[in-house]
Chain A
Amino acid sequence: MLRVILSKPLSAPAKFFPMKLPSSSPWLALLPFFTVIAFCYATGEFYPFSKFPMYSKFEEKTYIVYLADRTGKPVPTLDFGIFASDLKKHYGDGLDELKKDLKGSHYTWTAEQKAPAAREALRFLRDERAPQAFTDGRNAHLTLMDVRIYWKDGHLAKVEEPVASLDQITAKSTNP
């Protein structure tokens, strides 16, 4: 059966050249393919076009964030309508902003140096993403924990520290 399938002219050339481009070269039929690749690179990221940069390099270190209550006990990020990965991206954007003022990699920064990025991520949760989760003083002491993960000499190592707490941030001002 397999022999029949593979020997059958499944890809029989059409009687017409579907593109009818001004050349007999079938490679010109790939014009949309090359155009889209060029467009993706020219724009970088313009939905739906993208360079698809995820996992385009693997470093020996990375980091994540999670949320904790005042006792340091983890709190599900989905309670605030956000995945831990998205919260990390908000925090990461804040760290990128801080690079304008601070030198070196944020892997060498102290918790105090990283705190503005963490406060901005917590403010985003409270004021924009999930204000309902903070009514009645609930989660008033929510803390953002920064976890650094290293791969060295065939072993994983983790370092985690609290970076900022919501009680360090002024409540959202309301206009009368």
Chain B
Amino acid sequence: MKSLFRNHLGNISYEDWEWRWMRLLFAPVIWLATFPTLRFWVVDLPNTIDREEPNGLGMLVPLEWLGQPVPTALCALAIAILLIFYVLGKGLPWVTTGLAVLHAAAGSLLYSPRGHHHSAQLVGMVLMGQSAWFLYHAWRKRSRKAGDSPRESATGAVFWSQQMIAAAYVVSAISKWVNSGGGWIPGWRWVQQTPNIVVQFEKNHLQSFYDSLQTPPETLNRGVMEWFGDHPWAAMLCIAPGFYLELFAFLGLFNRVAAALMGVALILLHVFIALLMHLEFRYFMATDLIFLVNLPYWIATLVQIRSINGTTATA
């Protein structure tokens, strides 16, 4: 249990094979977060940007042209090619930078008006983090401040990706703290307001209904809403951990066990939100699973332990 509380901040070593698995698993997430379809022949981007509330690169340069059929197809082709190089691990400084810029450009079309959607931001942030790491690492190598070890390259890429994930959740918690009225105890006012979440449940339920006039599938939503309505303290007790999980997401950076547990906890938080409020954050869950939980490492560790135990038993 001690390993959970060990501080190895910045000193956890990631092997190249772990980073290869992460790239392989993250590549389809990047694609789907940019073009939410696997049917390459029907990729589509909006060709309008809300000029009163543009988002991202769309605030700096006109990008509506990217939503025209030919530029969209070329953008998709470029991303597909870059993803192949990404999975192969070739030219990562330029590949990750290219992916980050193209994803951000597409995102400024997909997520305009500004602030209306937050379903794929984490993917873009992780790409930005990877791009920044590889450019920094390339500079270090050029100025002979770093070696050419694949492990060093992998370690930085994974650690910076994890930092982007932690930062996103911590920012979200700080927004809750500030917007709900601040106060000396982080999140206390937000927690006090949580019984009013019943109104949000009802809003999401009705909006899901008016999308298609089909009654949304019965999940925990209705029953839990009524229960929270009758027991405001239950709402506070059930929802408050979500805030503190976000606020302390950076603890997942301290060691591998903490990262895995934080990843699982954040995924469970998203599952809870999806069940209650019909809000799915698939790309967030996938990113947490890949970079925090890091299943291939744990599978390899279990296999290794079994093999050691087997050898010991035989001896």
Residues of A within 8 A of B (CB): 1, 4-20, 26-30, 32-34, 36-37, 40-41, 45-64, 66-67, 74-78, 83-86, 88-89, 93, 128, 147, 149-151, 154-156
Instruction: List the A residue with the shortest CB-CB distance to B155.
Output: A18
Instruction: List the B residue with the shortest CB-CB distance to A2.
Output: B1
Residue B68 interfacial (CB < 8 Å): no
Q: Is the CB of A51 within 8 A of B121?
A: no
Q: Is the CB of B200 within 8 A of A55?
A: yes
On chain A, the residues within 8 Å of B210 by CB distance are 64, 66-67, 74, 76-77, 84
For residue A92, give the distance in angstroms from its CB to the closest CB of chain B: 10
Question: Which of B35-43, B86-94, B167-175 is the interface stretch?
Answer: B167-175
Interface size on B, residues (CB 8 A): 94
On chain B, the residues within 8 Å of A60 by CB distance are 196, 199
On chain B, the residues within 8 Å of A150 by CB distance are 199
Bound Cα distance A1, B298 (Å): 13
Q: Is the CB of A52 within 8 A of B199?
A: no
If A40-B171, A47-B121, A61-B199 touch, does A156 touch B229 (CB 8 Å cutoff)? Answer: yes
Q: Is the CB of B121 within 8 A of A32?
A: no
On chain A, the residues within 8 Å of B175 by CB distance are 51-53, 56
Residues of B within 8 A of A (CB): 1-4, 6-13, 48, 52-53, 55-59, 103-104, 107-108, 111, 113-116, 118, 120-125, 127-129, 132-133, 140, 145-146, 151-152, 155-156, 159-160, 163-164, 166-168, 170-172, 174-176, 178-181, 190, 193-200, 202-203, 206-208, 210-213, 229-230, 250, 253, 255-257, 301-302, 305, 309
Q: Is the CB of B211 within 8 A of A59?
A: no
Instruction: List the A residue with the shortest CB-CB distance to B160.
Output: A32
Bound Cα distance A77, B167 (Å): 35
Q: Is the CB of B6 within 8 A of A47?
A: no
If A30-B10, A51-B175 touch, does A8 touch B180 (CB 8 Å cutoff)? Answer: no
Instruction: List the A residue with the shortest CB-CB distance to B179.
Output: A56
Bound Cα distance A49, B19 (Å): 24
If A19-B156, A55-B176 touch, does A26 touch B9 (CB 8 Å cutoff)? Answer: yes
Q: Contact check: which of A4, A28, A84, A155 meets B211 at CB < 8 Å?
A: A84
Q: Is the CB of B203 within 8 A of A64?
A: yes
Instruction: List the A residue with the shortest CB-CB distance to B137.
Output: A18
Instruction: List the A residue with the shortest CB-CB distance to B159.
Output: A18
On chain B, the residues within 8 Å of A74 by CB distance are 210, 213
Q: Is the CB of A37 within 8 A of B171?
A: yes
On chain A, the residues within 8 Å of B163 by CB distance are 30, 32-33, 36
Q: Contact check: which of A12, A27, A85 meets B13 at CB < 8 Å?
A: A12
If A33-B167, A58-B196 touch, does A11 touch B255 (CB 8 Å cutoff)? Answer: yes
Question: Is chain A's interface secondary structure helix, strand, loop, or mixed overall?
Answer: mixed
On chain A, the residues within 8 Å of B159 by CB distance are 18, 29
Instruction: List the A residue with the shortest CB-CB distance to B164.
Output: A36
Bound Cα distance A114, B80 (Å): 46
Instruction: List the B residue with the shortest CB-CB distance to A155.
Output: B229
Q: Is the CB of B11 within 8 A of A26?
A: yes
Q: Is the CB of B257 within 8 A of A10?
A: yes
Q: Is the CB of A45 within 8 A of B115?
A: yes
Q: Is the CB of B55 within 8 A of A149?
A: no
If A14-B11, A84-B210 touch, does A57 touch B202 (CB 8 Å cutoff)? Answer: no
